[in-house]
Structure 1
């Protein structure tokens, strides 16, 4: 059985769908897997994992928000004959302390690093596209971005750069084996500055309002988010505000041989597409 196929988990998600499309463009056989794809994959249902892994040579692994399943999945991948795994983690995951996000990401990284698979870990910063695809998009379109972020900037990375890096690694796994790449944009910007840039480029007024993490969690619950999930999201901003993950890195250029796309470039493209039009 051929093992040229790449299994893309989270194939309907922000990075997964971009990675799958790029692989197909290269002529790489792709098995797109998610809860809503033809190949069904659910982290809470291990019964479907073996079928998804059958005949697969490489996996683009987007981990769940709970730590345990990745260890079992990796074991099954080894048994199935998978050779390569590219894991999507988070920028500075080893500096997130005992936060839920940090523990989850580090557990997933430990699973692939401790395996017999040829592995590479990608650690992207917050995605620039969060400002319109979801997360912050509704708030931006309402005209007021309310977050618990202060003067510490964030080195937002463009999702297209993340996908380009993932595909480059999958195309040449030997070169990138055992490497961890921190992926950021070329310049860090504050959330207040991001709102201003979006407002200027789109012509739609967007203000930024800072609230406490506690108040932000309350707002998320009012919007329908589970209280535990709301607390975890607010916790992310507490970590960011420490400044431990505010630095830019050369991860994108190390893999692609070019500079990463800037946040301004993202804003111009998104505004031209009318994503913030009211």
Structure 2
């Protein structure tokens, strides 16, 4: 390539980052793909690949040298996630990155019921204090994950009650991210709530999954105690059990029930409904 790409994309070997990278390539925008395993990065026109690791601040700063705008997918879930985020943001600042587009989460707040949304809020705050410009993409739960909520018996279990949320297709988040990256200055300092077009409760999700898949899916509203007990068999650490259960309690609270038009504002095209996504995926 004749010049250094001004845009870098993390997570290019993952589900969201790879979609964003393909969207940018479709737009003919040069980019640098950052990957822990460069051989797994997609081969795209106008794209170069650099090795990096959230935990290796020196390698990250080197990989970001010459980059102006960074698309930052959150680090893997775990107890060290915030440490990784801080180290990577510091590396980006050191490398001279001027703007970070960060994949946050709906209803991110220091006291969010969904425990992982607290980490997203803390990351937003750290970015605001970094001196770099920022754009936050607060994604709702992905429609892509909805078919995996039911057990083998066709039952979705969790303490969600009749609470509502607005799941969004990962592809619509990727379209939005690519549009922001194509004109980053226009979106500097903006916080976008990226949702689908329908506010649903878990009974609605079960019904839509049933209609799309031809197999009956039902929702069982667990108590919080039942939710912890039914998940304890997986032997997951406490932080992960809390995240799993709080997925449903956050929905029950209606904290994520509001439909946003930000996907359409950013891209000019409305987002897919869950039914439309399932028909497309099928």
Check whether TM > 0.5: yes
Which whole-Å CA distance do the structure 1 matches of 2:102 and 2:222 have between them? 33
- Aligned counterparts, 1:156-175, within 5 A: 156-175=167-186
Which whole-Å CA distance do the structure 1 matches of 2:35 and 2:125 have between them? 23
User: 1:51 and 2:62 equivalent?
Assistant: yes
Question: Could you tell me which residue of structure 2 aligns to residue 149 of structure 1?
Answer: 160
Question: Could you tell me which residue of structure 1 aligns to residue 214 of structure 2?
Answer: 203
Per the TM alignment, residue 242 of structure 1 is displaced from its structure 2 partner at its CA by 1.3
Question: Could you tell me which residue of structure 2 aligns to residue 13 of structure 1?
Answer: 14
Task: State the superposition RMSD in angstroms.
Answer: 2.3
Q: 1:109 aligns with which of 124, 131, 135?
A: 124
Which whole-Å CA distance do the structure 2 matches of 1:33 and 1:142 have between them? 40
Q: 2:265 aligns with which of 254, 261, 265?
A: 254
8 A Cα contact 1:91 1:124, kept in partner: yes
Which whole-Å CA distance do the structure 2 matches of 1:119 and 1:3 have between them? 21
Per the TM alignment, residue 24 of structure 1 is displaced from its structure 2 partner at its CA by 1.8
Q: Can you give the 5+ residue segments of structure 2 that lack an aligned partner in the other structure?
A: 40-49
- Aligned counterparts, 1:254-273, within 5 A: 254-270=265-281, 273=282
Per the TM alignment, residue 14 of structure 1 is displaced from its structure 2 partner at its CA by 2.6
Q: Secondary structure at the match of 1:51?
A: helix
C-alpha change, 1:106 and 1:14, in structure 2 (3 Å) is same
Which whole-Å CA distance do the structure 2 matches of 1:235 and 1:206 have between them? 22
Runs of 4+ residues over 4 Å off in structure 1: none
User: 1:123 and 2:138 equivalent?
Assistant: yes
Stretch of structure 1 that moved more, 172-181 or 203-212: 203-212
Which whole-Å CA distance do the structure 2 matches of 1:88 and 1:61 have between them? 6
